[in-house]
Amino acid sequence: MFFFKKNKNQINIETSNIFRGMLTLAKGSIIARLLGLASIPILTRLYSPEDYGVLALYASFVLVMAPMLTFRYVQAIPLPKTDLLAFNLLSLCVSFIVVGSIILSFLFFFWGELILSWFDMLALLPWWPIIVLGSMGIALYELFSLWATRKKLYKIIAKTQITQSLLGNIIKILLGLLAIKPMGLLVGQFVAHSGGVGSFIKASLPSFRELRRGVTFKRMCFLAAYYKQFPTYRFPSQVLMSLSLQAPILMTAALYNKEITGQLSLAMLSLSLPITLIGSAIAKAYYGEIAAIGKSDLSKIKEISLNVQKKLFFIGLPITVFIMLFAELLFTFFFGKEWQIAGEMAAILAPFMLFQFTSSPLVEVINVLGKQSYFLLFSVVRIFGLLSIYLTFNYYQISNYKSLILSLSLYLSLFYFMMTIFIVLKVLRNR
């Protein structure tokens, strides 16, 4: 009896540690996002829709390219038992990023027009050096932030999030005032994506100096082979996931007009606020804690995971109900009468966002248990379902956009709910 009581207390302590880490990261995320929101009314008066179109293309390209530079080995940084092995893995990722950036520069220099024409992104051709720097910056930030997650340097992560948003938006505003367009948006976005790498390196420099003596080519090759599931499964799943995340916008643009697409864009941006503010922070803190436990104690990981799930659900439920009831009124009040449709869409999509919010941290269990093939499975199922919805609406020429939004909400709610059940019943039982 004493053992079980002690074990339960230990689990409560672990959960408490996770939520302290979550709170620290969430504070940084909230401040960063609020700074970004505050700058929007200024930026939209400095830059034209065409400028924002170039920015959207840039952001899409670098967010797809950055994960390719590390082959997703970066996700394994918190996993090794010793810092020496983790630092060898970090060194491997840095090598991939540097070599990949050089290759990308070479390709753009000689065949940039051809490459961008494949993706209908020729507007980015004059700015290809920023694309390379942006891809490299995102990859480096992700790499060093996961090292900071491993070392539980949550305050530094939160600080970099604030720095990124503040400096990025200041640069966008200043260059916009100087009429340096659209370069101002691109440079500002580059800083917003990659600023803070120096802070991570500075905080970890003493340990880096000590650990670098143990970096060997043999160890890096061993780790590349040991974590081969990441490039084998996580890499293609990342590409599919990136595409599926943009699918609702792409589907709406293909099926309806620009106005409906813009309304959906604002609705999803507003609803994604709690996920980007809190969900990513929770995922990092949760990942850091369960990676420290390791796969040797599945019962502890399962109990912590269920505890986190319950708390997230009870946090998200009242917010979801509130949005479903008052979204239309809130959107009209804050954004103007022309955004009433976005409010209607937000009310329909709110349940799906709840299930995404509660399930997003849980998928980190897959990294700890080495079940990378499940990431690919989830990505294939998600994009197959979304593609089926698109083909159905396109074939039958369904003109009611609300039917599409409702179909997306129902399918994605079911997807995230079933994914949670799958992880709890299958993965955490290690079947």
Greater confidence (315 vs 53) lies with 315
pLDDT band for 288, please (50, 70, 90 cuts). confident
pLDDT of residue 6: 47
The answer to whether the Cα torsion of 168, 34, 22, 350 is positive or negative is negative
The answer to whether the Cα torsion of 419, 425, 426, 430 is positive or negative is positive
Span of 18-22, 179-183, 303-307, 326-330 with lowest mean pLDDT = 18-22
pLDDT of residue 145: 93
pLDDT band for 3, please (50, 70, 90 cuts). very low
Greater confidence (239 vs 430) lies with 239
pLDDT of residue 1: 47
3-state secondary structure of 178: coil
Number of residues that make up the chain: 431
pLDDT of residue 388: 95
pLDDT band for 4, please (50, 70, 90 cuts). very low
Q: Is the pLDDT of residue 368 over 80?
A: no
Greater confidence (68 vs 219) lies with 219
Mean pLDDT of 397-414: 94
pLDDT band for 275, please (50, 70, 90 cuts). low
Q: Is the pLDDT of residue 355 over 70?
A: yes
Q: Provide the percentage of residues in the chain whose pLDDT is more than 90.
A: 35
Measure the CA dihedral 356/362/365/367, to 10°. 30
Within 8 A by CB and 6+ apart from 402, the residues are: 344, 345, 348
Measure the CA dihedral 324/326/331/334, to 10°. -140
Closest by Cα among 15, 238, 266 to 138: 238
Is residue 342 within 8 A of residue 266, CB to CB? The reply is yes
Q: Provide the percentage of residues in the chain whose pLDDT is more than 70.
A: 84
pLDDT tens digits along 42-99: 776 777 656 766 776 777 788 888 888 999 999 999 999 899 999 999 999 999 999 9
pLDDT tens digits along 119-151: 556 777 888 999 999 999 999 999 999 999 898
pLDDT of residue 210: 92
Greater confidence (276 vs 364) lies with 364
pLDDT of residue 53: 61
